[in-house]
Amino acid sequence: MFRKLLNSELGRLSKEEFREKEKLPVVIVLDNVRSQHNIGAAFRTADAFSAEMIFLCGICAIPPTAEIHKSALGAEDSMSWSYFENTEDAVKKLKADGYVIISVEQTEDSTMLDKLEPRLNEKYAFVFGNEVRGVGQEVVNMSDLVVEIPQTGTKHSLNVSVSIGIVLWEIARLLKGI
């Protein structure tokens, strides 16, 4: 029989401890993500994998909102974030700060996620797009690499919050050995 652990047994960090801990060298960029539930899920997933920061761009809602909080469950308070009116400005800043820009999208020459070989001495910014239109073509054009999540079913896309979870899990596994 398996006994579920109590929250008090999980060894969770306080917000202050989280802010001070070493982060995964990853920034999540949300390019015009419409759903506040998806934005909240991005905060919660970024917190779970100790990403550095989230950039909210374009039509993305910004905290605090009740809808973001429903999915983030407080991660909107622990995660650092910034807002940019347009995603291109966010990408320019990240490039200037030495990040490798990776759009998560389906393109002609995309690299399958399972073939990604990140380097330990690099910093990465993963761009996730709008629920219908994906990552804007202008942003794809600015990217250093495009990564695609392999899929084998009848659908050709995943919910953006699911994509964020898959990509962060994989990059954390590759960089931190989790």
User: What confidence score (pLDDT) does residue 176 get?
Assistant: 86
Q: Give the domains, in start order, of the chain with CATH numbers.
A: 22-149+156-176 (3.40.1280.10)
User: What confidence score (pLDDT) does residue 177 get?
Assistant: 73
**pLDDT (tens digit per residue) in 82-104:** 999 999 999 999 999 999 999 99
Contacts with 51 (C-beta within 8 Å, 6 or more apart), sequence order: 23, 24, 26, 27, 28, 79, 168
Average pLDDT across the chain, whole number: 96
**pLDDT (tens digit per residue) in 19-46:** 999 999 999 999 999 999 999 999 999 9
Report how far residue 169's alpha carbon sits from residue 109's, in angstroms, rounded to the nearest whole number: 23
Percentage above 70 pLDDT, the chain: 99
Distances (CA, A) of 171 to 18, 100, 165, 174: 19, 13, 10, 5
Query: Above 70 in pLDDT, residue 14?
Result: yes
User: What confidence score (pLDDT) does residue 178 get?
Assistant: 64
User: What confidence score (pLDDT) does residue 42 get?
Assistant: 98
User: What confidence score (pLDDT) does residue 69 get?
Assistant: 98
**pLDDT (tens digit per residue) in 101-144:** 999 999 999 999 999 999 999 999 999 999 999 999 999 999 99
